């Protein structure tokens, strides 16, 4: 996945279940693993075929991705945030971990959105403001019993297109 400023290319590498996200700086060809070795053996970034890809922040200084535990092959339940500091170093931390399957991510100028699917099939979208390393409180928007596959925010963050496979957008 290309960064919005085209300076970075994000990709997954390694062998399942312990595949890491890495990014390459296009100008220097420097490769950086986003998950440090301390997390690499405990975090799984591969979900099912319906799990959405990672998303870049509009300013290309952050990446959000979905992950799960390596001790079982189940749904991805954690939203991780990787941020680049002013020195160019990347750090990663979980920002949403509630034990509910996550299916998609979207990032606008000031908001990060994630889709979740409850065990009974109900879906909802969580939306929180994000500025620097500060994540605001989550606002939840409920859906019906359908997997949410895609979240596409507009640039201002005032609207969010939510799509479900084989159904009209919400």
pLDDT in tens, 30-41: 998 888 776 766
Q: 123, 140 in Cβ contact below 8 A?
A: no
Instruction: Give 80's contacts (C-beta < 8 A, 6+ positions apart).
Output: 43, 64, 65, 66, 67, 92, 93, 94, 95
- Give the distance between the most distant pair of CA atoms in the chain: 48
pLDDT in tens, 81-140: 999 888 888 888 889 888 888 989 999 888 899 999 888 888 888 899 888 778 888 888
């Amino acid at each position: 996945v290309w960064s919005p400023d085209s300076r970075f290319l994000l990709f997954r590498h390694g062998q399942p279940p312990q595949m890491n996200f890495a990014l390459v700086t296009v100008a220097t060809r420097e490769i950086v693993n986003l998950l440090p070795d301390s997390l690499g053996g405990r975090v799984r970034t591969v979900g099912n075929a319906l799990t959405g890809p990672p998303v870049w922040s509009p300013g290309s200084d952050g990446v959000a991705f979905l992950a799960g535990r390596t001790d079982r092959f189940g749904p991805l339940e954690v939203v991780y945030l990787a941020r680049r500091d002013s020195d160019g170093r990347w750090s990663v931390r979980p920002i949403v971990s509630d034990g509910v399957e996550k299916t998609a991510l979207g990032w606008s100028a000031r908001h990060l959105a994630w889709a979740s699917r409850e065990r009974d099939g109900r879906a909802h979208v969580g939306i929180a403001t994000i500025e620097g390393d500060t994540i605001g409180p989550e606002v939840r928007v409920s859906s019906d019993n359908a997997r949410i596959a895609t979240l596409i925010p507009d640039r201002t963050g005032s609207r969010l297109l939510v799509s479900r496979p084989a159904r009209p957008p919400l």
